[in-house]
């Protein structure tokens, strides 16, 4: 499939902006999750130190909240990996370039 230099430029533009989007999605998600887990773990350790007999129940609750913290980050990672490997905009762009050719 032959493509002019303008077509290659458009594809390269889309690829670069996709990379930036993926980096922001994963990076900012990681920051939020890291801070959240740190606070969660710290409070759990504090609570277990004050009342060691509650440690079992607190641990279960900690895992529940850990899963909730992960949610939006994981949704973001899922979207980011989908953009990275099966970018829908890329296939649309390639179709359009074939039509314009």
Q: Which of 64, 95, 98, 101 binds other proteins (CB under 8 A)?
A: 64
For the beta carbon of residue 28, count every other beta carbon within 10 angstroms. 12
Of the pair 28, 75, the CB lying nearest other proteins is at 75
21 vs 58: CA distance, rounded Å: 37
Spacing of C-alpha 1 from chain mean position? 33
Name the catalytic one among 70, 83, 94, 97. Answer: 70
Footprint (CB under 8 A) of other proteins, residues 33-62: none
Q: Which residues are at the interface with other proteins (CB under 8 A)?
A: 63-64, 66-68, 70-72, 74-78, 81-82, 85-86
């Amino acid at each position: 499939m032959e493509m002019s230099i303008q077509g290659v430029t458009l594809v390269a533009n889309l690829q670069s902006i996709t990379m930036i989007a993926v980096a922001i999605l994963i990076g900012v998600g990681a920051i939020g999750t890291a801070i959240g887990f740190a606070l969660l773990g710290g409070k759990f350790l504090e609570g277990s130190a004050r009342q060691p007999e509650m440690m079992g129940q607190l641990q279960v609750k900690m895992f529940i909240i850990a899963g909730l913290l992960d949610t939006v980050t994981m949704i973001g990672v899922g979207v980011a990996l989908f953009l990275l490997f099966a970018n829908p905009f890329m296939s649309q762009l390639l179709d359009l370039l074939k039509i314009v050719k």
